[in-house]
Amino acid sequence: MCTRAQWTAEGQPVLVGRNMDWTERQGAKLWVLPKGIERSGLTDQNPLTWTSKYGSVGTIIWGGVSSDGINEAGLVSNVLYLAETTFKARDNDKQGLTIALWAQYFLDTCATVAEVVKACQNLDVRPVKLVHKGVAVDAPVHMSVSDPSGDSAIIEILDGETRIHHGPQYTTMTNSPPFEEQLVLLKQYEGLGGRLPIPGTMEAEDRFARAAFYLTKLPEQPETYQAAVAAVMSIMRNAATPLGANDPVRPNISATIWRTISDATNKRYYFEFADMPNVVWMDLDNFDLSENGQPMMFDLANNFEASGEISGLFQPTELFETTKADGVVTWQPGD
């Protein structure tokens, strides 16, 4: 499920593309969240509490799970599936945070990747129950973060421990196997250290190789800003899985259903559904992200004629209800 690629060519905006792959619709909606929102980590004991320092724009799925977004400082977060994610027993000495707010916590409180890495040290991130085809599992995900400097980090929870790869060289991310193993596999391909041709299957390690390889083929100096955005979009579409191509057993091998591009430099957020021809985008400067601002939402799935810059189409609304730690994601297609 999913592919992420970050492009940081000299003199160009820092652009982060991501595909969301899943077996069914997730009720994805676009949200504007101002600063000043008081939040809880939603664990039964010693929950993390905070007040959002930065406003953000992002994609909320399953009614209350933060999956992707960018804040007004230019920090970008992307949550992807990782089947090997495993959680240990709750450590009540650490402040607890539901994984449904994992991405949003960093968007609310951090301006740089370095701040995110530091903030990870004192957190106990707790799963929510994700029901997929009747089977409930502890939501197995990992996260990437990026910032306007081109810095990057990949954050995984393996054997209950947080493992972080931090540095601008970590531009690509998909799913299984864990990131350390992906880096080893990557070296076998032509142009990336080896001699094998670039693979073309839907497997996560093959999408990883394609995204990494084609990032090296983007023009050093695109003629226009539009060309730069289109270049990253072409990478994401190359790494996408066609509609209908779902593995019946592995949800990490599923069709691409939506994608985003986050412009960390210019604070712009692009979004498209794979089954709709229109791309929309939002400039964060067009929203009131101050403490006086209101949460706002836009549902592209029910406004399929929208295209281009859509900040004027968002409507004020009540804040979504986040799934608590160890709670069950109750959203169902059709809700």
Q: What is the pLDDT of residue 221?
A: 87
Query: Which regions of the chain are under pLDDT 50?
Result: none
What pLDDT is recorded for position 9?
82
Spatial separation of the C-alpha atoms in residues 128 and 110, rounded to whole Å: 23
Q: What pLDDT score was predicted for residue 51?
A: 98
Contacts for 250 with CB less than 8 Å, ≥ 6 apart = 83
Span 222-259, pLDDT tens digits: 989 999 999 999 999 999 998 877 776 676 678 999 99
| Angle between the N-to-C axes of helices 204-215 and 225-238, in degrees from 0 to 180, rounded to the nearest 10 | 150
Is residue 37 within 8 A of residue 49, CB to CB? The reply is no
* pLDDT number for residue 25: 86
- Residue 289 CA to residue 292 CA, distance in Å, equals 8
pLDDT at res. 117: 98
Look at residue 120 in the predicted model and tell me its pLDDT.
96
- Which residues are designated catalytic? 2
pTM value? Answer: 0.95
pLDDT of residue 243: 84
The pLDDT assigned to 1 comes to 64
**Structural domains for the chain:** 3-175+224-316 (3.60.60.10)
